[in-house]
Copies of this chain bind each other. A is one copy, B any other.
């Protein structure tokens, strides 16, 4: 098509409200239009990209025997009541009533709808395994949408659900799906994506992986071992601490610590290193506001995800009132009243630390966990740290990086089939619950991630497989009849060969023409200009600058076609 007909303006200025590059470039190039908080329309350019991404995903899902279906966006609450998630999921699940006062919701994930679709079909083991998927709009009422298409409220997602008669069968399929995901990211130009073990959160199940594009602007923290191939989301990474004190045993002693409320202050005041102290973090349960205190070593931090998995319920940071019985700033595990508490593994066996005395202006020193807190239980509720111990190879080689989650796969187990009573008869006529897996990719976030990973100051550098067009044809000085005729001919030839070409024959300066082309990010650029025309040449350059050459105009068509074909293979 002609660039002058492309809907959407292009801007040089970085919008003030854009904190990440992909967001800024997608606004500057009219890929997206803000409609409401976390809700965008897609312009032509982005829709061309997302359709290609959708097609790549579709092909790879079909290749692992997926069957494309379509679930509703609007679901009856009754379906989610069957699984129990109507109550258990928080405000990100958008609930409403329809005109008949029926409770409804906007699907943010479709496990329930998937089970409902195949519950009657999957009654015999002979039908298994099978996988269904859809590419459909989802809505998740995020509290804090951010980063353009990175975290939105409405998004297009491919979600897939597989059903199996045994854990072994799921394990095998899960591996296939893992490989399919790698292929999808490779084809979309994100071959550098890594998979990390993740927390299953509200999805249920145990084994799960996130596919992460390592990237400084990522929202997720990923723990990577520099020595072995261990990788996990920070929320899921096991935290292993060396449980040794480097100071001698001492008696439990109450000491006055006026105004010393933080770990840093107390340790400074008492002349102790942070790892010889005990940190308290206080929460309240959502359902009844009861207090929960999490204790860990002073040099570590509490992982709320891990604590939530132990409590199996939602909680929020506490407001400590006078009536609570808790003494803010002076809370310790010894003689604590008014709250249930959880101790991190890092405290186990530690024999001389300081902690709050549960009394205004007092701490204890010399706390010996084994001696002073008999029968205490310990949990893994701290975050792993850079320089920490790898749970696989045991070396102190952990590093924490940032990443964007571009996909995830979960082993769901029987959480949904059990709660929704989907059963199959096995070879012996015995009834069993199918075991499920689920597999998600956000289409828009993937597009934005490719842009994050592949751009320069002037625009995205789209890989050929998902580029909005394959060739960007520039006719400089379209008022020069000879140049215009040559460019027009190239345009017609490329069009009739099925090449996707965007043709800029506007009478604008080279500066405008090239900065627009940079914002579109089309991989191959072909430039006709008066100067080259005099020598019978035209220019072929790639957006990533790896190719820049002049070719004879009568050889240009073949050269462009060959270059497009080559880049499609990458």
Contact = CB atoms under 8 A, between A and B. Distances in A.
Interface of A: 5-9, 30, 33, 35-37, 39-44, 46-48, 50-51, 65, 67-76, 78-79, 91-92, 94, 96, 98-100, 102, 104, 106, 113, 116-118, 120-121, 130, 132, 134, 136-137, 139, 141, 143, 153-154, 156
A139 B75 CA distance: 11
Given A35-B75, A73-B137, A74-B153, A116 B68 contact: no
A33 B117 contact: yes
Contacts of A104: 36
A100 B37 contact: yes
Contacts of A50: 70
A124 to B, nearest CB: 11
Given A41-B113, A72-B41, A91-B99, A137 B136 contact: yes
A377 to B, nearest CB: 36
A74 B132 contact: no
A96 B99 contact: no
A41 B65 contact: no
- Pairs A-B, 8 closest by C-beta atoms: A96-B96, A42-B70, A36-B76, A44-B67, A91-B99, A39-B72, A99-B141, A47-B68
Contacts of A73: 73, 137, 139, 154
A91 B101 CA distance: 12
A41 B116 contact: yes
A258 to B, nearest CB: 43
A30 B9 CA distance: 46
A443 to B, nearest CB: 10
Contacts of A74: 36, 39, 106, 139, 153-154
21 contacts: A7-B117, A7-B130, A30-B121, A33-B116, A35-B75, A35-B79, A36-B72, A36-B78, A37-B102, A39-B76, A40-B72, A41-B71, A41-B113, A42-B70, A44-B69, A47-B134, A74-B106, A74-B139, A74-B153, A92-B99, A94-B98
